[in-house]
């Protein structure tokens, strides 16, 4: 068997292949299961040791040579095809731009902008923190030590433990760690909101593994629950653009606030144009045909949390709240499935999105759909 001649013939045919299809046929002919080079490899098993020692390297070299030739011819054909396409395709930069801007602002971004605008008017700055957070900021400093049962309620995404690291890294489960970061960085007094992404291992029509919260934190002297209630009421009236918003404060529990209050907002059930009943915020939830809807968690900042933030709780007090931004968007703009928020469906975005040029302002209206 003249392996050198076989190899030469194969290489000549490969070099002559004019397109990828022909090349693929050659690959099958030589190296496929029933291919001629594959068949030669199989003869090795039946050879005597001496013969194998003599012919084995030649057969392997043949296979390698053919494999390499196929690969380099393939690369050559592909780059030639790309060159040809690049030469043929041109962009006409003199074409006119589309009549109207096509992009829209996602409702979540819109609501975040509205929140920042309203709270800026109340003297709040915008703060932020990392989404990849450490255990200490997300839990311990918020008065949830290692074995605290509230940790289990958070369905946390943890990163793998690394050696020599105290406490695991995680995807923050709420925006509350920004409370700690801001106190440590800026001291007191403070008035901030912190909007951003948070993560929990949970998914259905009303829960997505990533969602958005806005945290609020006020630290000053002589702060009490009345300040919290006024702030939330003022914010919600501005956000929903109606004066008849009624809040109900319910005692609740969060490790980082004491006392803790959950805040419900009153709504009325009315018949929409499509005959289906829908909720319209406003009025007391106790009135006939009305109800209460849970909106947010809040409370007076726990003394221990103020200490973890590096401040003296005898001198400084504060309140904090955490609101689901996606929920606010759904309520204000009438969407009913949270998952659609993150599908990236152009039609949904075109329908619910906001004009990129219409920035929310208090004077011009905080939320006018595109
Ligand atoms: N961090 C809480 C949550 O995610 C909300 C909250 C924030 C409650 C601030 C009280 C004060 O559920």
> Structure pTM?
0.71
Q: Which atom of ligand 1 is nearest to the CA of 296?
A: 5
Closest Cα partner for 155 from 201, 211, 198, 197? Answer: 201
Q: Which of 148, 256, 318 to mutate to test the pocket of ligand 1 (most atoms within 8 A of CB)?
A: 256
What's the average pLDDT block by block, 10 residues per block, for the chain (370 residues)? Answer: 89 93 94 92 90 91 94 94 90 81 86 94 96 95 89 87 80 97 97 96 84 97 96 95 94 96 91 77 91 94 98 97 93 84 89 79 57
- CA 207 to each of CA 200, 254, 285, 340: distance values in angstroms, whole numbers, following the listed order: 9, 20, 25, 11
Q: How far apart are CA 359 and CA 122, in angstroms?
A: 18
Q: Are 124 and 192 in contact (CB under 8 A)?
A: yes
- Domain coordinates of the chain in residue numbers? 3-88, 107-352
- What three-state secondary structure class fits 350? helix
What DSSP designation does 279 have?
Answer: E
* Helix axes of 36-43 and 49-88: crossing angle, nearest 10 degrees: 160
Q: Residue with the nearest Cα to atom 6 of ligand 1?
A: 322
Q: Using the CB atoms, write b or e for 53-75: b if 16+ within 10 Å.
A: eebeebbeebbebbeebbeebbe
Question: DSSP secondary-structure letter at 302?
Answer: P
pLDDT given for residue 370 in this prediction: 43
Q: Element (H or E) spanning 73, and its range? A: helix 49-88
Q: Which CATH superfamily is domain 107-352 in?
A: Bira Bifunctional Protein; Domain 2 (3.30.930.10)
Residue 367: predicted pLDDT:
56
| CB burial string 316-337: b at 16+ within 10 A, e below | bbbbbbbbbbbbbbbbbeebee
pLDDT at 168: 85
Q: What are the residues whose beta carbons fall under 8 Å from the beta carbon of 155, sequence distance 6 or more?
A: 173, 200, 201, 202
What are the two backbone dihedrals, phi and then psi, of residue 21, each rounded to the nearest 5 degrees?
-65, -45
Nearest to residue 317, comparing CAs of 220, 180, 176?
220
pLDDT at position 205: 74
pLDDT given for residue 361 in this prediction: 67
Sign of the C-alpha dihedral, residues 113, 116, 120, 121? Answer: positive
Distance 297 CA to ligand 1 centre (A): 5
Instruction: Check whether 258 is labelled as a binding-site residue.
Output: yes
Q: Residues lining ligand 1, judged by CB closer than 6 Å?
A: 174, 176, 254, 257, 297-299, 320-322
CA 333–ligand 1 middle distance (angstroms): 24
């Amino acid at each position: 068997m003249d392996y050198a001649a076989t190899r030469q013939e194969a290489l000549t045919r490969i070099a002559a292949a004019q397109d990828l299809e022909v090349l693929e046929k050659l690959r099958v002919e030589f190296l496929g299961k029933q291919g001629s080079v594959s068949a030669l490899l199989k003869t090795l098993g039946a050879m005597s040791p001496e013969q194998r020692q003599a012919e084995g390297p030649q057969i392997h070299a043949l296979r390698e040579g053919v494999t390499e030739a196929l690969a380099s011819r393939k690369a050559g054909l592909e780059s030639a095809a790309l060159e040809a396409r690049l030469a043929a395709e041109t962009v006409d930069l003199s074409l006119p731009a589309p009549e109207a801007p096509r992009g829209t602002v996602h409702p979540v971004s819109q609501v975040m902008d509205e929140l920042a605008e309203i709270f800026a008017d109340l003297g709040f700055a915008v703060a932020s923190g990392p989404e990849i957070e450490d255990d200490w900021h997300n839990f311990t400093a918020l008065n949830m030590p290692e074995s605290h049962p509230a940790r289990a309620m958070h369905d946390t995404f943890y990163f793998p433990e690394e050696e020599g690291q105290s406490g695991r890294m995680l995807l923050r489960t709420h925006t509350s760690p920004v409370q700690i970061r801001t106190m440590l960085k800026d001291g007191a007094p403070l008035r901030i909101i912190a909007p951003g992404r948070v993560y929990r291992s949970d998914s259905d029509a009303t829960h997505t593994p990533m969602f958005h919260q806005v945290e609020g934190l006020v630290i000053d002297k002589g702060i009490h629950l009345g300040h919290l209630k006024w702030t939330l009421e003022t914010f919600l009236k501005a956000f929903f653009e109606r004066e008849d918003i009624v809040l109900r404060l319910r005692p609740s529990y969060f490790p980082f606030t004491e006392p803790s209050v959950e805040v419900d907002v009153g709504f009325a059930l009315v018949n929409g144009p499509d005959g289906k009943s829908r909720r319209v915020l406003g009025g007391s939830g106790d009135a006939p045909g009305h109800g209460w809807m849970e909106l947010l968690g809040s409370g007076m900042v726990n003394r221990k949390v103020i200490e973890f933030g590096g401040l003296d709780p005898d001198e400084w007090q504060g309140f904090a709240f955490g609101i689901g931004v996606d929920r606010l968007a759904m309520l204000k703009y009438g969407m009913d499935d949270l998952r659609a928020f993150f599908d990236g469906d152009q039609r949904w975005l075109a329908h619910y999105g906001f004009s990129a040029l219409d920035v929310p302002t208090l004077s011009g209206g905080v939320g006018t759909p595109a």
